[in-house]
Structure 1
């Protein structure tokens, strides 16, 4: 590690003693001099880092196949033995006001042995506007309910020599106080991250599959995008990961992999869904990021025993729709 890199690391774990404690206890929280909470996992100068992204688990307090698939995915992740795990949102099956789903999801995901951070999706906290199923827009109360179970809805984690960044995509263009707080936090990312290479995770993609889809229902909205990209340009971003679209896709942007992660819950195989997502692999699974020699290599991974259903074959989801007073869409 270069002298400059050591200096940057010192801003996160600001004493030799704190660094030693962080090394001995992965996930040990620390404060930098600006008071921003970050975490340090085990650091080694030369090693391969493995990060797993799991997404769109849609776990229900009613049980069912989505829970069974999530449990299988948890066991599979433990077999892969990653250094860190990101859940990129839609942890709960459908209704952001159903706390029992969050309880069930937290209990199930507690089986992941590696350090884990969970980002919110639109089914966890709502989304901008009134389009959302059952008219449940993102709100401060829904954000607070998510945080009560899963912690902060944004994060910086130091994994090896890398910074793993998570943003809440559901509050861009919301006008909520939490949006202003996140913008201010993003402004401070360069001092939190230093000169480390970084990975960025969100629920919805930063850029939509096509420009005409750049709207909050699909991605970061067109109004927020220029400001976000200007701020992210200050970082050494080496990769992007998102969920939401229920398929696996991999493209490249300025030499960095841009990954759309699959769901573990159900498939989106309709023609309308394909119009939104673009080309990709419609299969359940997770994404493994192997980081070595400064490069990020994403791989689609799937246990053989995931049960692949379409949305309307999920009984707990249909029950959740009925409880929300929403008629199920036509097959």
Structure 2
């Protein structure tokens, strides 16, 4: 079961409240919904019950020179009055004026705007405390402004952080210091020099635990020294210029990316003794998707200890910098750069903490920096390499072993006679668990119209003659799409255990043919859930789903856990909610699978609870069956794995359990004495 945090707080950003429901102060239809979307966000926050909320700026849309500014403030105040916990406000550029720069589109901060903000919202910079942690708020529009308040804020921040040395310090601001790289040029979305270097130096010297910013209306993760910067999505709309970081065009109904509602929501931060765990909860803008606020999923372990959820393969580039076109909107005169960090957000959201990547990622300094930032959340990497890595590569592995779950070597077969000695030397040098995989290829000539096969892959099958290598910690097993995950994982685990090793199991979502698409989302969802439950049961082994994101071009096309926009598919939502539900229960200690006329039923036991995971054969078919053992009475709850909604259930020996067609669900039931 997941340990309880010391406390929880939430962060929201860029609500851009309108002066009234009827105001047409933006050419975008989605902008007319910002007030309603903040009301929905408040309802979500009340359901989450954090100790407090921090709004990191742009509370309202009218800028200080607009006559509707006071009216928008009243609208914001009226909406936030429904919040059941304290809220701390951070000045945004819409609230207090843009940063001081020649190229900004609205009025820059000036003394009368400083006074206007103070009158309507309160302090510009201040601190507060909670259970041994210190929280500091600053006004980034003041930085580089030359106003007297800039010097006052700088002196206050230095003194405030020094006074709280030894505590965990959290910093909140509106403008991020940078969007992609520490040395990027100044643009609309960052803090210009020399203020940027000053602020980053303060953060480094005072060992700030985490910093949260707004302004960009998209999620980005950056790291400076030992501090993660979380650039927050909006509750209102997406900054569509950053859609260029995505791998697919935007549908018309999304207003070219601005109304991509899956990217709206709140960040929940659980503060534990040893680390903080951030989770993004999607609001979907409210409306018909209000069920998203019903439960707080997932509730996940806080550390990198035992991680029962399956890992994923990161086949797509996840550290790539994209050039954002100059847009005739906010940045017209030069390019800016950004990454697509939505896959990272989705991984945290689903409870995935093991990631498989090539050794190249660890050897590259830029990618390694991204690995450091992700590892702060408890993620660990399984790195793989074809052939034998050289001494320099093994030195890098050893030096960064805190990031790693193991080193996987893919070798040609049959191996050389000195395999055992070379494996032992590599493991000692690397200082991490060593896992062995077998390279294989399929090739042949076309005869009588038969297809030519030109494929490479790796991994043992349970029917192979497995090596008796004592110098490794585990063996890699490949589970083809045609093999049921439950069968493949169980056989691989047994084969490895018979040799005193752990299994690293790669469950393919792709077909065995590079030309055959696997776009049946229901079938993929069932395979993912089946794999996940096996992973929670076979806790001593490593199970990976291949792949995180959709592959919609090239070879082996298939859907994954997220689509090309970084938004969760049904399989991703179901995995998230299954991991969240299981994290509230004792470990799964027994697991059986039953094939029925309607599909497959997974029956697991966790403590005194019986878990039922029915996987109907097709989304158009319902599943119906009886509680195992047919107790006189049972009670518990049903988790809708699509939304996370939970409903209480009870029944008796003669009442069947019914699963609606196409709705993944899990029952947690206990017999009633």
Aligned to 2:158: 187
Q: Structure 1 residue 95 and structure 2 residue 75: aligned? A: no
User: 3-state SS of the aligned residue for 2:180?
Assistant: coil
Structure 2 distance, partners of 1:70, 1:189, is 32
Q: Distance in 2 between matches of 1:74 and 1:50?
A: 16
Partner of residue 71 from structure 1, selected from 34, 39, 46: 39
Deviating more after overlay: 55-64 vs 185-194: 185-194
Alpha carbons of 1:211 and 1:304: their partners in 2 closer, same or farther (altered >3 Å)?
Answer: closer
Instruction: Report the counterpart of residue 306 of structure 1 in structure 2.
Output: 286
- 2:10 paired residue number: 52
Shift of 1:251: 4.0
Quote the residue 1:198 is aligned against.
169
2:265 alignment counterpart: 285
C-alpha contact (below 8 Å) 2:204/2:227 kept by paired residues: no
Provide the rounded CA distance (Å) in 1 between the counterparts of 2:166 and 2:201.
17
Alignment partner, residue 103 of structure 2: 131
1:169 equivalent in structure 2: 140
The DSSP-based 3-state class of the residue aligned with 1:188 is helix
Shift of 1:270: 3.1
Q: Which has the larger radius of gyration?
A: 2
CA–CA distance in 1 between the matches of 2:72 and 2:38? 13
2:187 matches 1:228: no
Identify the range of structure 1 (123-132 vs 157-166) with the bigger mean alpha-carbon deviation: 123-132
Unpaired runs of at least 5, structure 1: 1-45, 276-280, 309-327
For 2:280 and 2:90, locate their aligned partners in 1 and report how far apart those are by CA, in whole Å: 20
SS for the counterpart of 1:233 is helix
User: In the TM superposition, what is the alpha-carbon distance from 1:172 to its structure 2 partner?
Assistant: 0.5
Partner SS for 1:257 = strand
**Residue pair 1:126, 1:136 contacting (<8 A) in 2 also:** yes
Contact 2:8–2:271 (CA under 8 A) maintained in structure 1: yes
Contact 1:78 1:112 in 2 (8 A): yes
Structure-2-length-normalised TM-score: 0.36
Instruction: Please report how far the alpha carbon of residue 81 of structure 1 lies from its aligned counterpart in structure 2 after TM superposition.
Output: 0.7
TM-score normalised according to structure 1 size:
0.71
Is the contact made by 1:269 and 1:282 (CA closer than 8 Å) also made in structure 2?
no
Superposition deviation, residue 242 in structure 1? 0.6
Deviation (angstroms), 1:146 = 1.2
Question: Using a 3 Å threshold, how does the CA distance of structure 1 residues 273 and 136 change in structure 2: closer, same or farther?
Answer: farther
Query: 1:83–1:159: 8 Å Cα contact kept in structure 2?
Result: no
Kept in 1: contact 2:265–2:284 (CA 8 A): no
Per the TM alignment, residue 123 of structure 1 is displaced from its structure 2 partner at its CA by: 1.0
How many pairs were matched up?
260
Are the aligned partners of 2:15 and 2:60 in contact in 1 as well (CA < 8 Å)?
yes
> Which whole-Å deviations, capped at 9, do the CAs of 1:89-136 have from their partners, x for residues lacking one?
011113223222122212212222212111111111112124333x41
| Mapped pair 1:122 → 2:80 | no
**Counterpart residue number, 2:81:** 110
Distance in 2 (CA, whole Å) between partners of 1:302 and 1:118 is 21
Q: How far did residue 181 of structure 1 move?
A: 0.9
Partner residue, 2:228 = 257
Q: Larger relative CO (CA 8 A, sep 6+): 1 or 2?
A: 1
Separation (CA, whole Å) in 1 of partners of 2:102 and 2:18: 23
Task: Give a deviation string over 1:281-314, Cα, whole Å, max 9, x none.
Answer: 9711111111101311111112345369xxxxxx
Change (3 A) 1:129 1:272: farther
Q: Say if 2:180 is the partner of 1:209.
A: yes
Q: Residues of 2 paired with 1:262 and 1:82: CA distance?
A: 19
Q: Match for residue 213 of structure 2?
A: 242
How far the C-alpha of 1:62 sits from its partner, in A, is 2.1
Contact 1:257–1:296 at 8 Å: present in 2 too?
A: no
1:216 deviation in Å?
Answer: 6.0
Contact 2:269 2:279 in 1 (8 A): yes
Q: 2:276 aligns with which of 279, 292, 296?
A: 296
- Per residue, is there more strand in 1 or in 2? 2
Residue ranges of structure 2 left out of the alignment (5+ in a row)? 22-31, 247-260, 289-327, 331-673
How far apart are 1:272 and its partner, in Å?
7.8
- Give me the whole-angstrom Cα distance separating, in 2, the residues matched to 1:111 and 1:89: 19
Greater helix share, 1 or 2?
A: 1
- For structure 1, which segment, 123-132 or 149-158, has the greater mean C-alpha deviation from structure 2 after superposition? 123-132
1:214, 1:242 → 2: CA distance?
Answer: 18
Q: Is the 2:204–2:225 contact (alpha carbons within 8 Å) kept by the matching residues of 1?
A: no
Residue-by-residue CA offset, 1:226-274 (whole Å, 9 max, x unaligned): 2222223332311111111111233444444321111011112235875
Q: CA deviation at 1:160?
A: 1.5
